[in-house]
Protein backbone atom coordinates (compact mmCIF):
# COMPACT_ATOMS: atom_id res chain seq x y z
CA UNK A 1 0.00 0.00 0.00
CA UNK A 2 1.64 3.20 -1.12
CA UNK A 3 0.12 5.35 1.64
CA UNK A 4 1.61 3.08 4.32
CA UNK A 5 4.99 4.66 4.82
CA UNK A 6 4.95 3.79 8.54
CA UNK A 7 7.99 2.02 9.92
CA UNK A 8 6.97 -1.20 11.72
CA UNK A 9 8.29 0.34 14.96
CA UNK A 10 5.34 2.73 14.82
CA UNK A 11 2.86 -0.08 15.37
CA UNK A 12 2.25 -0.36 19.10
CA UNK A 13 1.87 -4.01 20.09
CA UNK A 14 -1.15 -5.04 22.16
CA UNK A 15 -0.04 -6.41 25.54
CA UNK A 16 -0.46 -10.17 25.85
CA UNK A 17 1.84 -11.03 28.78
CA UNK A 18 2.99 -8.39 31.24
CA UNK A 19 6.51 -7.87 32.48
CA UNK A 20 5.43 -9.05 35.94
CA UNK A 21 3.84 -12.24 34.62
CA UNK A 22 6.99 -13.01 32.62
CA UNK A 23 9.21 -12.51 35.65
CA UNK A 24 7.07 -14.81 37.80
CA UNK A 25 6.98 -17.55 35.17
CA UNK A 26 10.70 -17.34 34.40
CA UNK A 27 11.42 -17.74 38.11
CA UNK A 28 9.23 -20.86 38.22
CA UNK A 29 11.05 -22.34 35.24
CA UNK A 30 14.42 -21.51 36.77
CA UNK A 31 13.44 -23.27 40.01
CA UNK A 32 12.24 -26.35 38.12
CA UNK A 33 15.42 -26.48 36.04
CA UNK A 34 17.65 -25.98 39.08
CA UNK A 35 15.94 -28.96 40.74
CA UNK A 36 16.14 -31.11 37.62
CA UNK A 37 19.85 -30.46 37.06
CA UNK A 38 20.93 -30.27 40.71
CA UNK A 39 24.49 -31.48 41.20
CA UNK A 40 25.30 -31.23 37.50
CA UNK A 41 26.79 -28.64 35.22
CA UNK A 42 24.48 -27.56 32.44
CA UNK A 43 25.33 -26.35 28.97
CA UNK A 44 22.73 -23.75 28.13
CA UNK A 45 22.47 -23.30 24.39
CA UNK A 46 20.65 -20.17 23.27
CA UNK A 47 19.26 -19.95 19.77
CA UNK A 48 19.97 -16.43 18.53
CA UNK A 49 18.64 -13.98 18.31
CA UNK A 50 15.22 -14.56 19.84
CA UNK A 51 16.35 -16.29 23.03
CA UNK A 52 18.82 -13.81 24.45
CA UNK A 53 16.56 -11.82 26.78
CA UNK A 54 14.84 -14.92 28.16
CA UNK A 55 18.15 -16.75 28.53
CA UNK A 56 19.77 -13.86 30.36
CA UNK A 57 16.96 -13.73 32.92
CA UNK A 58 16.62 -17.50 33.23
CA UNK A 59 20.27 -18.31 33.95
CA UNK A 60 20.52 -15.55 36.55
CA UNK A 61 17.67 -17.16 38.47
CA UNK A 62 19.15 -20.67 38.29
CA UNK A 63 21.32 -22.15 41.03
CA UNK A 64 23.25 -24.78 39.06
CA UNK A 65 26.57 -24.03 37.36
CA UNK A 66 26.13 -23.26 33.68
CA UNK A 67 28.19 -22.88 30.55
CA UNK A 68 26.53 -20.70 27.95
CA UNK A 69 26.87 -20.96 24.22
CA UNK A 70 24.88 -19.78 21.23
CA UNK A 71 23.88 -20.89 17.81
CA UNK A 72 22.34 -18.73 15.12
CA UNK A 73 19.94 -20.20 12.63
CA UNK A 74 17.85 -18.34 10.16
CA UNK A 75 14.53 -19.34 8.72
CA UNK A 76 12.40 -16.26 8.46
CA UNK A 77 13.74 -13.17 6.74
CA UNK A 78 11.38 -10.26 7.30
CA UNK A 79 8.21 -12.29 6.74
CA UNK A 80 5.87 -13.45 9.51
CA UNK A 81 5.50 -16.92 7.97
CA UNK A 82 8.12 -19.65 8.16
CA UNK A 83 9.93 -20.55 4.96
CA UNK A 84 10.68 -24.06 6.20
CA UNK A 85 14.29 -23.54 5.23
CA UNK A 86 16.70 -23.54 8.14
CA UNK A 87 20.30 -22.49 7.81
CA UNK A 88 23.04 -22.57 10.50
CA UNK A 89 24.48 -19.08 10.32
CA UNK A 90 26.74 -19.41 13.37
CA UNK A 91 27.57 -22.68 15.07
CA UNK A 92 28.25 -23.10 18.77
CA UNK A 93 31.80 -22.98 20.04
CA UNK A 94 31.70 -25.72 22.71
CA UNK A 95 31.64 -29.45 22.21
CA UNK A 96 28.41 -30.86 23.62
CA UNK A 97 29.56 -34.48 23.66
CA UNK A 98 28.68 -36.05 27.02
CA UNK A 99 27.19 -32.84 28.33
CA UNK A 100 23.76 -32.07 29.69
CA UNK A 101 22.40 -29.62 27.14
CA UNK A 102 19.40 -27.32 27.49
CA UNK A 103 18.31 -25.60 24.29
CA UNK A 104 16.69 -22.21 24.91
CA UNK A 105 14.39 -20.76 22.27
CA UNK A 106 11.91 -17.90 22.20
CA UNK A 107 9.05 -19.49 20.29
CA UNK A 108 8.04 -22.93 19.15
CA UNK A 109 5.80 -22.25 16.19
CA UNK A 110 5.77 -24.64 13.19
CA UNK A 111 8.56 -26.52 14.98
CA UNK A 112 10.65 -26.75 11.81
CA UNK A 113 13.51 -24.71 13.24
CA UNK A 114 13.81 -26.62 16.50
CA UNK A 115 13.42 -30.05 14.96
CA UNK A 116 16.25 -29.28 12.57
CA UNK A 117 18.40 -28.02 15.45
CA UNK A 118 17.63 -31.04 17.65
CA UNK A 119 18.47 -33.54 14.91
CA UNK A 120 21.70 -31.69 14.26
CA UNK A 121 22.64 -31.63 17.98
CA UNK A 122 21.82 -35.31 18.56
CA UNK A 123 24.57 -36.26 16.10
CA UNK A 124 27.04 -34.65 18.51
CA UNK A 125 26.18 -37.14 21.27
CA UNK A 126 25.16 -35.00 24.23
CA UNK A 127 24.49 -36.90 27.49
CA UNK A 128 21.04 -35.34 27.63
CA UNK A 129 19.19 -32.86 25.48
CA UNK A 130 16.17 -30.87 26.59
CA UNK A 131 14.30 -27.87 25.31
CA UNK A 132 12.90 -24.85 27.11
CA UNK A 133 10.84 -22.34 25.16
CA UNK A 134 9.40 -19.11 26.41
CA UNK A 135 6.34 -19.43 24.19
CA UNK A 136 4.57 -22.28 22.47
CA UNK A 137 2.11 -21.79 19.61
CA UNK A 138 0.75 -25.34 19.27
CA UNK A 139 -1.89 -24.32 16.74
CA UNK A 140 0.71 -23.97 14.01
CA UNK A 141 2.84 -27.06 14.53
CA UNK A 142 4.10 -28.80 11.38
CA UNK A 143 6.94 -30.89 12.83
CA UNK A 144 6.51 -33.52 15.54
CA UNK A 145 8.34 -31.79 18.34
CA UNK A 146 7.54 -30.85 21.93
CA UNK A 147 9.37 -28.64 24.37
CA UNK A 148 10.24 -30.13 27.76
CA UNK A 149 9.54 -26.81 29.45
CA UNK A 150 7.17 -24.10 28.23
CA UNK A 151 6.82 -20.62 29.67
CA UNK A 152 3.53 -19.68 28.05
CA UNK A 153 1.18 -21.16 25.55
CA UNK A 154 0.22 -18.35 23.16
CA UNK A 155 -2.56 -17.99 20.60
CA UNK A 156 -1.95 -17.95 16.85
CA UNK A 157 -0.85 -14.33 16.72
CA UNK A 158 2.42 -12.73 15.70
CA UNK A 159 4.04 -11.97 19.04
CA UNK A 160 6.90 -9.60 19.77
CA UNK A 161 8.95 -8.42 22.72
CA UNK A 162 11.20 -9.94 25.40
CA UNK A 163 13.53 -11.11 22.62
CA UNK A 164 10.98 -11.86 19.90
CA UNK A 165 11.05 -9.60 16.88
CA UNK A 166 9.15 -8.49 13.88
CA UNK A 167 11.69 -7.58 11.17
CA UNK A 168 14.33 -7.14 13.95
CA UNK A 169 12.18 -4.62 15.84
CA UNK A 170 10.63 -4.87 19.33
CA UNK A 171 13.12 -7.32 20.85
CA UNK A 172 13.72 -4.91 23.73
CA UNK A 173 10.10 -4.60 24.83
CA UNK A 174 9.90 -5.69 28.50
CA UNK A 175 6.49 -7.31 27.87
CA UNK A 176 5.14 -9.66 25.21
CA UNK A 177 2.61 -8.21 22.82
CA UNK A 178 1.18 -8.98 19.46
CA UNK A 179 0.85 -7.03 16.27
CA UNK A 180 -2.00 -7.51 13.85
CA UNK A 181 -1.02 -9.75 10.94
CA UNK A 182 -2.71 -7.39 8.48
CA UNK A 183 -0.53 -4.53 9.66
CA UNK A 184 2.53 -6.77 9.64
CA UNK A 185 1.83 -7.88 6.07
CA UNK A 186 1.43 -4.31 4.87
CA UNK A 187 4.80 -3.57 6.39
CA UNK A 188 6.61 -6.70 5.27
State yes or no: residue 109 binds ligand IMP (CB under 6 A).
yes
Residue from 74, 72, 69 nearest 126 by CA? 69
State yes or no: residue 161 binds Mg ion (CB under 5 A).
no
DSSP of 92-103: -SS--TTSEEEE
* Catalytic-residue membership of 100: no
State yes or no: residue 177 binds Mg ion (CB under 5 A).
no
Considering only 37, 54, 158, 162, the residue that binds ligand IMP (CB under 6 A) is: 158
Expressed in percent and rounded to 5, the helix, strand and coil fractions of the chain are 25, 30, 40
Of residues 14 through 53, those in contact with Mg ion by CB under 5 A are 50
Going along the chain, which residue ranges are E strands?
A: 14-17, 42-48, 66-74, 87-90, 100-108, 128-136, 149-153, 158-160, 176-179
82 binds, among ligand IMP, Mg ion, none (CB under 5 to 8 A by kind): ligand IMP
| C-beta of 97 vs 119, nearer to ligand IMP | 119
| C-beta of 42 vs 154, nearer to ligand IMP | 154
The catalytic position among 57, 100, 109, 136 is 109
Of residues 75 through 134, those in contact with Mg ion by CB under 5 A are none
Pairing of strands 42-48, 66-74: parallel
Considering only 57, 102, 110, 117, the residue that binds ligand IMP (CB under 6 A) is: 110
Considering only 8, 30, 42, 50, the residue that binds ligand IMP (CB under 6 A) is: 50
Beta bridge partner(s), residue 178: 14, 159
List the x/- string, 1-30, binding to ligand IMP by CB under 6 A: ------------------------------
Rounded-to-integer distance, Cα 11 and Cα 123, Å? 42
Report in angstroms how near the CB of residue 112 gets to ligand IMP at its nearest: 4
Residues with Cβ within 8 Å of residue 44, at least 6 apart in sequence: 55, 58, 59, 66, 67, 68, 69, 102, 104
State yes or no: residue 13 binds Mg ion (CB under 5 A).
no
Q: Which residues are catalytic?
A: 109
Amino acid sequence: MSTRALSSTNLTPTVLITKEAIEKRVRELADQLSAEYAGRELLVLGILKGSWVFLADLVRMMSVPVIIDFMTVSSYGASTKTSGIVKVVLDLKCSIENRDVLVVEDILDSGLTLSYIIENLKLRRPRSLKIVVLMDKPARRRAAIKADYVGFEVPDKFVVGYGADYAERYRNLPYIGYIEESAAKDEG
